[in-house]
Amino acid sequence: MRSVLDQYVMDKGTRPQSLDALVKAGYLKQIPVDPMTRRNDSWVLERSNDPTKPGIVNIRSSSRSTSRDGTAYSTW
C-alpha cells in the first residue's frame, strides 16, 4: 500500500485524498482487505500536516492485536 501511495505521488505530483482515489485512478483494483482486521474499511489513513500538500501520507492497520514480539500491528 505504501508503494502505491508513493507511485501515485510520483505520477500525479499530489497525494491521494482517499483510498477511493487510488481505485479510480487505477492504482488499485479495489480497496484491499486489511489482513489483521479482515475488513477493507478499517484502514487508518495518516494525513499530511502540511496544508500546501494535503492528502494521505501513510496507511496502517487499525488492529489492536500485537505480534509475537509484542509490537502492535497498527505501528507497522
49-63 pLDDT, tens digit per residue, is: 999 999 999 999 888
**Contact between residue 16 and residue 28 where contact means Cβ atoms under 8 Å apart:** no
Whole-number pLDDT of residue 64: 83
For residue 67, the model assigns a pLDDT of 83
- Tens digits of residue pLDDT in 4-51: 999 999 999 999 999 999 999 999 999 999 988 999 999 999 999 999
The pTM score is: 0.82
Nearest Cα residue to 2 out of 44, 51, 53? 44
For residue 1, what pLDDT is reported? Answer: 87
